[in-house]
Structure 1
């Protein structure tokens, strides 16, 4: 049993060491590593102002949603990694943050032009313009096999053209294009003469609603002008990143020393668990392409402090159990059981706060909340599961360990 625990512990340490060594390069790779936000990578910050409609009507929230959808699509066409596109409904503005952009003027020219929606026959000829589509709305199909649909409504002129189109090309596909890029390619099943059509077989309502917004934009264009253009230098972002990393390293060194001095052997286990915790969080960031910003780094560092705090709560409970006369093995089991509810409560309440910030916040606030939430989940695993597993291995190797190694001044 003892030999088996020694082998497991050594194998675990070697596995973590190799994981750390293999993780450094992919995680920090500028092209494929954890994506960095505007404040760390540099780029351009744009504020696009919606211009009044030609007929003098007030700009509606629906029009602003269309403008946002169009701009977000064009940003994706630019190949920008993890852009941030937000709407200020009161000021009728769209705020865009583009990290890594080297030619901001080109991005501005692409983003501020008015979208063009067209319907094309199978040969690629334009047969309908976007202004002949009066409405497009997402909904649930009447037949369950249809899935979610987008209902289309055409103007009187559009109805005539669409009637001719659908009569001529039954069994063939009609292309719907936005800015000369294919948006949807539905098949004509029968002549449609009443100006009411639908596109079916969307997997989700969200996907149908997204296309509906883009299609409606053809009939209600919103011209945009540049209200603000600010370039963030890459050197400023790199300097901020270096300072954040340096602060994080100093903080980790202090935490490691604190745990070693006050908790002895459990402190070593806690430091080891923190390394595992950091690996888990960073790999989650990498796999889900979480954009790392300065507020996001702050949330990550805060979650590290919480992970240490949870270990302290657990160790204090273990010390109380040992001082009450229990053996070291029994004290560990009882201490973890007593601390479990406290640790879970702290995790749940903080996680709820983080998710509230993420749901109601915008931009950098979302980044802070997301990294904090991910950190809370990872710290729960390391504090309750991983740390307990390692302590069990250590006690299994030597059940007669001196309790002073656990910060308790009483020999067993």
Structure 2
């Protein structure tokens, strides 16, 4: 138990030295000192409560989900009826009152139509998403079920949360907190962000990109008054575009959405040198885009972003390469933000900022200072008590305690973890818990000496017997820490990270390192007794 060969001591000191070295950049950073640029500089990230930053609460417009589902169902129904053999002709299509209804030209087609609609109505899950009714023998009515709508809203919120995460990660920020709150809200916390307005603009952009054919049959006077021909809709031009202040009539169905994008980059138009966004479709999207442009050469098509027309160029020739270029009076920054939004995917639902809170870095600095003071006072009290009670063994425990704190910082830096205010509380708690192990060991050694065992046997049995209790206690704490990390969020996770890492480092320093030091002292001095 007290035998430590050279290779084992070398290995333990190497692990300790690496962890301490990994902690040094964080210590320099927290103290305001400059760390040499030639050396690795991985540091512990500071959470929102320590580094300052932005807290934003987003709320979704859930009514859009029902509207979008109606539009998708209408397009699916039209496609299914058109592809039927022989074709099933329908008319008098209506989406009023949140329901999709249409008439069959031939009532005899009702059974065939029902068979084609059943897969669309039932969906792919266990929840029935639509109710299908036949009225007057030839009118089909599709109504959204509440269960189907609730599931769609939940799926949209999950997708929106992931899109928000991708957009914020693209900004280069570290360790953002992005969680759902209730059914329709998302909490976003970004530590160290200096420009919250840019964040709000990025998150507030739905980035729903569409390519739709312009309805050339629409009269300019009708468009100006907001009237569109059947099957079309009026879409206004975006601010800053060439048609700002005007509107355009576009075909409501049959266009292409940006769901098939695989790439988007800010670039420059080679002819005008204006900032643009170059986009790339996947194979399916590229084929659909090629078909659209091939079938409509010399016709205008509108590039629509979030319900606003960016531009409406003519299709001069088929675009077959699966790439396109979006222009619309961009600056470099706005083009880059749009590229980020398109790469991360369109938000399935609009998000509005309903709460904004900015935490200043001064508050975080004050929290760090007070946390360090609390840690220092607590550590000093523990050190005095340990040395006064256990003498040399208390000194070993104190050295192990210092190494323990440094190892926690080093491991957190290597893992790119975030330190929060509760994390500092975890540090203080770890200091007390780390000393517990040494108290158990030293008291066990005392008991063994009182039973008359020799020094070597007492120390060996003390470490052996106490270690089992230490491992059992730390296993239960580890389980609690893992559960806090898995089911907690934000500050709770920050506490759990320090707790779990501290459990491993505490056992390593308080048990393994101190045992190595005690074993070396015993072999060197061969004392007849120990003062405990």
Q: Give the TM-score of the pair, scaled to structure 2.
A: 0.56
* Residue aligning to 1:267: 394
1:377 aligns with 2:504: yes
Matched ranges for 1:2-401 at <5 A: 23-29=23-29, 32-54=42-64, 55=67, 60-90=153-183, 92-116=184-208, 128-130=256-258, 160-161=288-289, 179-181=338-340, 218=346, 221-401=348-528
1:41 shift after superposition: 0.7
Let me know the Cα RMSD of the aligned residues. Answer: 3.8
Q: In 2, distance between residues paired with 1:128 and 1:311? A: 68
Q: In 2, distance between residues paired with 1:110 and 1:338? A: 59
1:17 shift after superposition: 9.6
Residues 118 and 251 from structure 1, CA distance in 2 versus in 1: closer, same or farther, beyond 3 angstroms?
A: farther
Higher helix share: 1
Q: Which runs of 5+ in 1 are unaligned?
A: 120-126, 134-151, 185-213, 408-412
1:102 shift after superposition: 1.6
Q: In 2, distance between residues paired with 1:266 and 1:325? A: 20
Residues 361 and 22 from structure 1, CA distance in 2 versus in 1: closer, same or farther, beyond 3 angstroms?
A: closer
| Number of equivalences | 335
1:117 shift after superposition: 5.7
In the TM superposition, structure 1's runs of 4+ consecutive aligned residues that sit over 3 Å from their partners are 15-28, 56-59, 116-119, 157-165, 172-175, 181-184
Matched residue SS, 2:46: coil
Contact 1:116–1:179 (8 Å) recurs in 2: no
1:169-202 CA distance string (max 9 Å, x none): 99x8879x99535988xxxxxxxxxxxxxxxxxx
Q: Which runs of 5+ in 2 are unaligned?
A: 31-40, 68-97, 99-148, 212-254, 262-281, 294-317, 327-336
1:116 shift after superposition: 3.6
Contact 1:70–1:115 (8 Å) recurs in 2: no
Q: In 1, distance between residues paired with 2:383 and 2:17? A: 17
Matched residue SS, 1:47: strand
Residues 324 and 106 from structure 1, CA distance in 2 versus in 1: closer, same or farther, beyond 3 angstroms?
A: same
1:385 shift after superposition: 1.1
1:90-135 CA distance string (max 9 Å, x none): 3x1110011111221121111111034689xxxxxxx9423689xx
* Residue aligning to 2:333: none
Q: In 1, distance between residues paired with 2:199 and 2:175? A: 15
Q: In 2, distance between residues paired with 1:345 and 1:162? A: 66
Residues 253 and 274 from structure 1, CA distance in 2 versus in 1: closer, same or farther, beyond 3 angstroms?
A: same
Q: Give the TM-score of the pair, scaled to structure 1.
A: 0.71
